[in-house]
Amino acid sequence: MIQPPKPGTLVQSLVGRDNGEHYLVVGTLGPKLVLVANGVNRPLKSPKKKNLRHLKILVTAQADLLVRISSGRARDEEIVQAIRELLGRKHAGGEREGNEPNVKEEGRN
């Protein structure tokens, strides 16, 4: 049986409408279910229930964030920042925030 990840663990959804999305684990609901949040469309006040079989466990966040999540004192902004740091992203947005545009050049006939 799979051990549920600790709060603060970065996970990626493998199944469902949120396929490919990254979340932090914020709680457990037994041996097979966890609560996840990303601070944007899934804030801490309404986390999503996910089956462990539908998640890819990636890495664990910093210890201070783990304590804040476990004690219920974490904020959505901290969750967003932690996900960005763990994924190695500095910016979340597009060109205005320094990222290259994701545009595919298509040849004309």
In a domain, 29, yes or no: yes
pTM for the structure as a whole = 0.75
pLDDT above 90 covers a percentage of the chain that reads 52
Tokens of 49: 């229930």
101 in a structural domain: no
Domain presence at residue 62: yes
Range of the domain at 65: 9-90
Residue 102 lies in a domain: no
Answer yes or no: is 3 within a domain. no
When divided into structural domains, the chain yields a total of: 1
Question: How do residues 75-90 score in pLDDT, each as one tens digit?
Answer: 999 999 999 998 886 4
Is 96 contained in some domain?
no
- pLDDT category at 66 given cuts 50, 70, 90 is confident
CATH number of 40's domain: 2.30.30.30
Residue 50 domain flag: yes
